[in-house]
Amino acid sequence: MSVRTTKTTSWFDRIRSSVAGIGSGIMLVIAMVGLLFWNEGSAVQTQRSLDEGAGQVISVATTPVDPANEGKLVHLSGPVVANDSVIDAAFGVTANGLRLIRKIEMYQWLESSRTEKKQNLGGSETQVTTYSYKQDWAERSQDSSRFQEPAGHQNPAMVYQSSSITVSSAELGAFRLDNAVIGRVDGAKPFPLQQAQAASIRDAAGIRGNVSVVDGAAYIAMNPAQPRIGDYRIRYELVPLDTISVVAQQRGNGFSAYQTQAGDSLLMVHNGQVDAQAMFDDAASDNAIMTWIFRVVGLLLMIGGFSLMLHPLSVLASVIPFAGSIVSLGTGLVAMAAGITLGTLTIASAWLFYRPLVALIIFALGAASVFLLRRVMRRRQAATEPLPAQ
């Protein structure tokens, strides 16, 4: 089922809206200048912290705990042992592992929309939005009161929620692991439920309806094969007991984040037996990736800011739709050029501020390359010029 709405905005209203967007564009550009500048500083600080940690970390045995390493940055690897099972008391599910992840979905109405815009002669714009509805499983509750067409698409409130339960106590050799370490252990795997657990799930959760287990998932439904609105599906994942590697500050018989002089705190956990240098290399690689993600996002949003500032020009020209499209293309190119230029200058300025020596070397190499390129071009030009007549 789908519902279609049509809205026409006059040329004058579009001009007012686009002019109001200029301020938003200016604020967005300013914000992205700050973001890009901060991003470079954060990347430098993180890398310096990692370099500092890599130069100070010492590898230790998992047992016994050496008091001489108190407060130092240590690295160790070994199998994790849990003293108790991890229990989801809300549904009576027990497992041997580090963390039990409960994923609950409710069968409900979902709304999606598709919008098409058409510019009309005279500058007005017609917007046609088509809303479609379907029934499906979803982990997040969909508020049907906010649907474009709530009639016939009502969803009940979601009673049960997803959650993550951590084992109460775990050890790595003679070291005790707290939630700060356990929470960083990855490697969750599906934990299928058994049909025999259906009764305990119903009793623990106080469910009056039918509970059954199909393909490792529990269903609160009359018929899991034909779910109805308001039915639930419960699935679990388990982070198993396995070998892990830790880089952290030794505190008593446990761990805490190590505060570097460069500014960042270090607490790293990897699955498997990984040496310290590999863990620091992976962290440096993650830092580089995140730096580039923020750069790209900052540049794109900066381009969007300039687009908002230039948008009134395309709206003014849209009295003739063809002319509006041409101007819109032109302003888009200008916004892209302006965004990339200002973003690049911001990043370069940040490098001068945070890494002046490296920035000067790069600028010197760039200037030398330009100088050499000009000399080569002049020599080629001289070689192709005809010799003067004798």
Q: What is the pLDDT of residues 17-27, one digit of tens each?
A: 989 999 999 99
* Residues 30, 84 within the same domain: no
- Alpha-carbon distances of 44 from 35, 55, 60, 110, rounded to whole Å: 14, 17, 29, 44
DSSP SS3 for 233: strand
Do 241 and 318 lie in a common domain? no
Same domain, 310 and 374: yes
Q: Are residues 262 and 325 in the same domain?
A: no
For 238-267, give the DSSP string: EE---EEEEEEEEETTEEEPEEPTTS-EE-
Same domain, yes or no, for 194 and 96?
A: yes
The closest alpha carbon to 246, from 282, 283, 279, 285, belongs to 279
Give φ, ψ of 189 to 5 degrees: -125, 155
Q: What is the pLDDT of residue 363?
A: 63
Handedness of CA 149, 233, 84, 71 (dihedral sign): negative
Tell me, yes or no, whether 118 lies in a domain.
Answer: no
Predicted local distance difference test score (pLDDT) of residue 347? 85
Query: Do residues 265 and 324 share a domain?
Result: no
Statement to judge: residues 354 and 294 lie in one domain: yes
CA-based end-to-end distance of the chain: 90
- Any domain includes 188: yes
Could you tell me if residue 360 is inside a domain?
A: yes
Which residues, other chains included, contact 299 with Cβ-Cβ below 8 Å and sequence gap of 6+? Answer: 32, 36, 339, 340, 343
pLDDT in tens, 152-190: 999 999 999 999 999 988 999 999 999 999 999 999 999
Residues 252 and 146 in one domain: yes
- Residue 170 confidence (pLDDT): 94
Query: Based on the domain organization, do 42 and 84 belong to the same domain?
Result: no
The single residue listed with the structure tokens 């863990």 is: 279
Predicted local confidence at residue 369, as pLDDT: 65
Q: For residue 123, is it within any domain?
A: no
pLDDT at 328: 86
Q: Is position 208 within any domain?
A: yes
Same domain, 156 and 189: yes
State how beta strands 58-59 and 73-82 pair.
parallel
Regions in the chain scoring below 50 on pLDDT = none
Give pLDDT, residue 56.
Answer: 96
Domain that holds residue 257: 66-108+139-274
What does the pLDDT read at residue 324?
78
pLDDT at 317: 86
CB 155 within 8 A of CB 108: yes
Last residue of a domain, one of 243, 274, 305: 274
DSSP 378: H
| Domain boundary pick from 222, 249, 274 | 274
Residue 370 is predicted with a pLDDT of 62
H or E segment at 219?
Answer: strand 217-220
Query: 3-class DSSP state for residue 14?
Result: helix
For residue 122, tell me if it sits in a domain: no
214 located within any domain = yes
Q: In angstroms, rounded to a whole number, what is the distance separating the alpha carbons of residues 325 and 15?
A: 16
Specify whether 81 is located in the same domain as 210: yes
pLDDT at 329: 87
Helix (H) or strand (E) holding 345: helix 321-354
Question: Do both 306 and 254 map to the same domain?
Answer: no
Residue from 303, 333, 3 nearest 147 by CA: 3
**What's the structural domain count of the chain?**
2
Q: Which of 159, 166, 161, 155 is nearest to 234 (CA)?
A: 161
User: Of 221, 252, 274, which one is at a domain's C-terminal end?
Assistant: 274
